[in-house]
Amino acid sequence: MSDTSTGRRVAIVTGGSRGIGRAAAERLAADGQAVVIAYASNDAEAGGAVEGITAAGGTAIAVKADIADEAAVAELFDTAEREFGGVDVVVNSAGIMAMGPVADFDLAVLDRMHRTNIRGTFVVNQQAARRVRGGGAVINLSTSAEKAAMPGYAPYAASKGAVEAVSLILARELRGRDITVNAVAPGPVATELFFEGKDEETVDRIAGMNPMERLGTPGDVAEVVSFLAGPARWINGQTVYVNGGMV
């Protein structure tokens, strides 16, 4: 099966079974792209994401893959090429968030987070650099927490600082290929991961940090991903903050 004859773009979305990744996968499918959802472990969530997209008239498949495993990521791209003829868009949304003060942070947790957030981003971008077709786009998810410099976010923000570095440098390494590479840095977004462990007072305080006085939604971020994945050909090598004006 090949989409080269139809002109339909093909997107890989890592972390596409839930949260921001799922919203991005659904939006790209609604835009007419065939979507390959990469997920780490939850078969039911991945299946639900695919079913939702196909029920809405879109095209999607799910592939289980550890994004830090270079063989698994190579097979992920192989599957996209085999099923749909190529890869035009890569959205790297998979990530782990762990928080705590620098002085007390568990280094084993730091290593696990960095394996996914840093090594995983590098591995996915390495395959993207080799395989994304001309006219394509690579979009990596970062965080506004790095710029906001909020206490407790240092381990996570440090890993996302690496994501931004890879994104901005890869954009320049792909000179002449007509491929854009950008990072998207959301602020607090109303996802299951965000609400975990937070009381109502904390949620309200964080929601009030931006002048819009609300949390972001996965759809807010997916809207920007859609723009960068399609019409935004003159935005390249940038970090785009999507946070309602928080910072």
* DSSP codes, 42-66: -HHHHHHHHHHHHHTT-EEEEEE--
DSSP 13: E
Q: Sort 14 into a burial class: Cβ within 10 Å, 0-12 / 13-18 / 19+.
A: buried
- Please state, in angstroms and rounded to a whole number, the distance separating the CA atoms of residues 195 and 182: 27
Active centre residues (catalytic): 156
Q: How many residues can be counted in the chain?
A: 247
Distances in Å between the alpha carbon of 141 and those of 14, 61, 125, 194? 10, 21, 12, 15
Q: Sort 176 into a burial class: Cβ within 10 Å, 0-12 / 13-18 / 19+.
A: exposed
- The alpha carbon of residue 14 and the mean position of all alpha carbons in its chain are separated, in whole angstroms, by 6
Backbone angles phi, psi at 149, to 5 degrees: 55, 45
Angle 23-28-33 from CA coordinates, rounded to 5°: 150
Residue 51 CB neighbour total at 10 angstroms:
12
Distances in Å between the alpha carbon of 116 and those of 10, 123, 142, 233? 24, 10, 13, 28
